[in-house]
Amino acid sequence: MAAKTSKQAAHSAGKRAPADRNANPASCRQKLYYHARDVLDKLLAHSGSIKGLTVGNQQVPSFQRRPLYALVCETLKYHRALYTIVTRAGLVPTDTSDSLDPKVVGPSPSGPGELGASLTLAMVLTHDLLFKSSAGGLRAISRTKLAKQMDSYRPALKRELQRLIEERGAKSKAELIEVVDGTTTDEIERYVRVNLLRTSVDKVIKAFQTKEFELKDSGARLNDTRQMSRDSHLQDGIRLPPKTDLQAHPLYESGALILQDKASCFPATVLAPEPGSRVIDACAAPGNKTSHLASLMGNVGQIFAIDADPKRLATLVRLTGRAGCRIIEPYCTNFLHVDPYSLPFAHVDYILLDPSCSGSGMAHNRLDHLVDQFVGDADERAGNPQLDQAARLAGLAAFQVQMLTHAMSFPRVKRIVYSTCSIHAIENEAVVARCLAINPGFRLAPRARSLPTWPRRGIPGSVPHIEVELPEGVEEHESGSLPLSLTDDQADCLIRCSAAEDRTHGFFVAHFERVADVEELPAGEDKTLPPSQLTPFTEGAGNRKRRASVKATSGAGIVAADQPEADGKEVAGGKGNKPTAKQATAGIKRKNRGKDTPQQNSKRSVRKPVTS
Ligand SMILES: C[S@@+](CC[C@H](N)C(=O)[O-])C[C@H]1O[C@@H](n2cnc3c(N)ncnc32)[C@H](O)[C@@H]1O
C-alpha cells in the first residue's frame, strides 16, 4: 500500500468514524492498527491521555474503542521489548529510529515501505505478530500489503525476540516482558487491615476460616483463591489471594476490615504513636492512614487530620466515621499555612506526612507511568532534553521538601514519618537527603525502629538535586558537600517496596526523629500561645464556598487541581493526587514560614478558616 493511500485511509477513518461492525474485517482491523499508531503518536506529542484518545475518542467507531484501548495498552506495556526487536530486525531503519515521530522518520528506500516510516505502526503490528496468542489480528489482514510486509520480516522479528529472551535470561516471552517492563499488576495480593477499634485479627481469621479460607503460614505464597495468612510484618494485617473481592463482605461493610495495600499500612505502623499522643496527619484524605493511626492508638489521644481538599476530606469524615474513629479532628487547609506555634498544634508529638506525589508506584497508575516511560525513552532517543516528566517530578519534589521542612518546624514533634507511593528517587531519597541537610535538628530513626524485618531498604549514594527555595533564615548546612548523598547506614533506615518484587504497590517510607530534646513550651493549653484560628471541618452547607476559599488561599496552587477520591474504597496508599507540572513548580516559589518566630508566625497565620 502506498504511503499516500494509507495516510488517507487512516485519516478518513478517523474523520468519518463509521459505526459499522459488519464492515470487511480486514479493513476494520487495518483501521484499528492505524488508529493505534495515531494514538501512540499523539501520546508522544503530549496531545491527550490514553483513555481520552481511545475509549473517549468520538472519531473512532464505538465498537472499535475498547479493542483500540487494549491494543494501545498492550503495545505500551511491551514497548521496550518491541523497540529493541523492530530496530534490530531492521523493520525500522536504525539510522532514523532515533526518533519515534513519523513526520521525522522518512520512508526508507530499501525498508518495508510505510512500516519503515512509522516506528509506532511497526511496534503495534509486531506486538500482534509476536505477543498475541493466535496470529489474531494480523491474520485478519493477511491479504493486505501491510501484512505481506510484516510477513517478509517475520523470521527476523522472531529471531530478535529469541535473542532478547536469551539476553535477559528469561524462560518465556511472558517472563521477558516482565523482565523488560516489570508489569506484575495481577500479582499484587489482596491485603486487608483489621480495624482494631471494631474487632481483632484472631476474630477475623476465625470468621474467614470457618466459611471461606484455609489458613497458611505467614510467609507462604498463596496459590489458591481460598487461602489466607497473617502478615509477617504487620500485627493487624491479613493476606488474601490477588483479586479477592471483599467489597460486599459484611466485615468490610461494618468497617471491621479496611481494604488497604500492605505498603500503605507501613507509615502508621512505623510512626506507632502511643495511646494518648497528639498527632497530625498532614495530608490525610481520604483517611486510610488516619484511621490506621486511630486503630493503633485505641481511640485514645488526638489526631488532627489536615487536607486541603474539602471533597476528599468529606470522604475522610465518612470513612473514619464508619471505622468507629472518635479522636479525629479534620481541618480543611493547606498544611503549609498551619502555624506550628499555635494551639492545639504546638503540642503535637508526631506527624505523618503522605503528600501528593507522582503515584508512579500505584498499580493502576502504571499505564500512565508506561506512557511517561514511552515518551521519556523517545525523548531520550531523540536527544531531547525537554522532558516534561522530569520537570513535573522536580516540582513535586520541591513541594515535598517544603512540606517535610514545615513538619520539622513544629516545636514539640518527636518523630515524623514521610511516605510516598512513588518509585522515583527524586521524590524519595532525594527529599530525605535534602531535608536532613536543611534541618539538622532531625536524623533518620534507626532501622531497628523502622520495620527492621522488611528486607527492601533505601538506595544509598548521591541523589538528584532538588531546586527549592529555602525558607527565610534556613541554611543548608551540608551544602558544601554537593551533590547530596545518603550513606549505606542512612539508606538502611529507609523502607522501599517494589511492585515487581514485593507483591505490594511501589512505596517509600522515611522515619525521622528529633536529635535534641523537644522545645520547652508552656505546658498544656497555656493561653500564652495563640490559638490557630482554624476551626474543625464540618460537612454540609457552604461546601462550594469553602472549596473556592481553599483554591484562592493555597498560594502554591499545589492542591487546586487535585482530583477528589470518588469513593475511598480502593485507595490503598492514596493514589497520589497529582499537581500539574505548572502547579507543582509554582510551589517552589512559595515561602515556607516554618522557621519564623512564634510571634511572626501567629500574626501571619491568621487566616480565615475554611469551614462551614
Ligand atoms: C497521597 S494523598 C494522601 C492519602 C492519605 N494519606 C491516605 O492514606 O488516605 C495526598 C493528599 O494531600 C492533600 N494535599 C496536597 N497538598 C496539600 C497541602 N499543601 N496541604 C494539605 N493537604 C494537601 C491532597 O488533597 C491529598 O488528599
**Tens-place pLDDT, residues 328-380:** 999 999 999 999 999 999 999 999 999 999 877 765 545 656 676 676 666 66
Cα-based distances in Å from 77 to 183, 184, 367, 511: 7, 11, 8, 34
The type of residue at 141 is I
Of 527, 183, 559, which is closest to residue 402 (Cα–Cα)? Answer: 559
Q: State the Cα–Cα distance between residues 466 and 426, nearest whole angstrom.
A: 7
For residues 268 and 137, give the distance between their C-alpha atoms in angstroms, rounded to a whole number. Answer: 49
Residue with cell 495511646: 275
- What CATH number has the domain bearing residue 575? 3.40.50.150
Which pLDDT does position 547 carry in this prediction?
41
Q: What is the pLDDT of residue 561?
A: 22
Residue at 530 is within a domain: no
The verdict on the CB of residue 330 being under 6 Å from ligand 1 is no
**In angstroms, rounded to a whole number, what is the distance separating the alpha carbons of residues 221 and 239?**
10
Please indicate, yes or no, whether residues 327 and 380 belong to a single structural domain of this protein: yes
- Which residue's CA lies nearest to atom 22 of ligand 1? 307
**Which residue has cell 478558616?**
609
Among protein residues, the one whose CA lies closest to atom 19 of ligand 1: 334
For the record, the C-alpha cell of 317 comes out as 469524615
Residue 425 falls inside a structural domain: yes
354 is in an annotated binding site: yes
How close is the Cα of 554 to the center of ligand 1, in Å? 13
Exactly one of 357, 421, 435, 493 is catalytic; which is it?
421
Q: pLDDT band at 42, cuts 50/70/90?
A: confident
39 assigned to some structural domain: yes
Establish if 550 belongs to a structural domain.
Answer: yes
Together in a domain, 44 and 109: yes
- Per DSSP, the chain holds a count of helices (H) and strands (E) of 23, 15
Looking at residue 164, what is its pLDDT? 82
pLDDT at 140: 73
Give the pLDDT score at 351: 98
Q: Which ligand 1 atom sits nearest the alpha carbon of residue 352? A: 6
Is residue 504 within 8 Å of 187, Cβ to Cβ? no
308 is in an annotated binding site: no
Residue 29 clears pLDDT 80, i.e. is over it: yes
Ligand 1 pocket check for 559: Cβ under 6 Å: yes
Q: What is the CATH number of the domain that holds 245?
A: 3.30.70.1170
Active site residue 73: no
Q: What is the pLDDT of residue 454?
A: 96
Listing DSSP states for 99-128 in one string gives ---TTTSPPPSSS-HHHHH-HHHHHHHHHH
Instruction: Give percent above pLDDT 70 in the chain.
Output: 68
Does residue 152 sit in the same domain as residue 202? no
Of 149, 181, 213, which residue is a domain's last?
181
Distance, in Å, from the CA atom of 425 to the CA atom of 191, rounded to the nearest integer, reads 26
- In this predicted structure, what is the pLDDT of residue 476? 66
Structurally, how many domains does the chain consist of? Answer: 3
Sequence-separated (6 or more) residues with CB below 8 Å from residue 520: none
H/E segment holding residue 514: strand 507-514
Cell 493547606 sits on residue:
334
Is 320 found in the same domain as 235? no
Q: How far apart are CA 298 and CA 87, in angstroms?
A: 60
In the reported structure, the alpha carbon of residue 425 is separated from the centroid of ligand 1 by a whole-number distance in angstroms of 20
Q: Which three cell numbers stand for residue 135?
A: 496470529
Inside any domain, residue 345: yes
Q: Is 286 annotated as a binding residue?
A: yes
Question: What pLDDT is recorded for position 595?
Answer: 35
The rounded distance, in Å, linking the Cα atoms of 322 and 326 is 10
194-215 burial, b at 16+ Cβ within 10 Å, e below that, comes to bbbbbbebeebbebbeeeebee
Question: Is the CB of 354 inside a 6 Å radius of any atom of ligand 1?
Answer: yes
Q: Which of 134-143, 265-274, 542-551 has the highest mean pLDDT?
A: 265-274
Q: Is residue 117 part of a domain?
A: yes
Contact residues for 327 (Cβ-Cβ < 8 A; gap 6+): 294, 297, 299, 300, 301, 302, 303
* pTM beyond cutoff 0.80: no
Contact of 97 with 87, CB cutoff 8 Å: yes
Rounded to the nearest angstrom, the distance between the alpha carbon of 286 and the centre of ligand 1 is 8
Q: Kindly state whether residue 579 falls inside one of the protein's structural domains.
A: yes
In the listed set 223, 257, 291, which residue is the last one of a domain according to the structure?
257
Residue, of 134 and 421, whose pLDDT is higher: 421
Q: Look at residue 50 in the predicted model and tell me its pLDDT.
A: 80
Domain co-membership, 84 together with 125: yes
pLDDT: which is higher, 472 or 602: 472
Same domain, 312 and 218: no
Q: How far is the CA of 353 from the centre of ligand 1 (A)?
A: 8
Atom of ligand 1 nearest to the CA of 357: 1
- Same domain assignment for residues 318 and 446: yes
- pLDDT value at position 147? 82
What's the 423 CA to ligand 1 centre distance in angstroms?
A: 18
Name which residue leads in pLDDT, 190 or 585.
Answer: 190
Is a pLDDT exceeding 90 seen at residue 103? no
283 lines ligand 1 (CB under 6 A): yes
Residues 6+ apart with CB under 8 A from 398: 466, 467, 468, 469, 584, 585, 587, 588
The residue ranking higher by pLDDT, 451 or 54, is: 451
What is the DSSP secondary-structure string of 196-207? TTT--HHHHHHH
pLDDT of residue 386: 40
Higher pLDDT pick, 562 / 21: 21
Answer yes or no: do 376 and 270 share one domain. yes
288 is in an annotated binding site: yes
8 Å CB contact between 574 and 265: no
Angle, helices 145-168/173-181, rounded to nearest 10 degrees: 80
Q: What is the pLDDT of residue 180?
A: 38
Q: 114 CB less than 6 Å from ligand 1?
A: no
* Mean pLDDT to the nearest integer, 446-462: 96
- Whether ipTM > 0.90 holds is yes
Least confident of 4-18, 122-136, 326-340, 527-541: 4-18
Mean pLDDT of the chain: 75
Whether residues 507 and 399 share a domain: the answer is yes
578 lines ligand 1 (CB under 6 A): no
Angle of helix 62-77 versus helix 25-44 axis, rounded to 10: 60
> pLDDT digits over 242-295, tens only?
778 787 888 988 899 998 889 999 999 999 999 999 999 999 999 999 999 999
Residues 317 and 416 in one domain: yes
| Distance of alpha carbon 264 from alpha carbon 293, whole angstroms | 12
Domain-ending residue, one of 232, 257, 282: 257
**Where in the sequence is the domain holding 143, given as residue range(s)?**
3-181
Q: Measured between alpha carbons, how far is residue 433 from residues 227, 409, 426 in Å?
A: 42, 17, 10
Same domain, 191 and 220: yes
Is the pLDDT reported for residue 569 higher than 80? Answer: no
Rounded distance, CA 597 to CA 169, Å? 60
Claim to verify: residue 401 and residue 285 sit in the same structural domain: yes
Which atom of ligand 1 has the smallest separation from the CA of 573?
8
Q: Which residue has the higher pLDDT, 220 or 194?
A: 194
Going 30 to 31 to 34 to 35, the CA torsion angle's sign is: negative
DSSP helix/strand/coil, 513: strand
**Residue 359 within a domain:** yes
Q: Choose among 112, 266, 314, 294: nearest CA to 195.
A: 294
Highest mean pLDDT, choosing among 10-14, 132-136, 345-349: 345-349
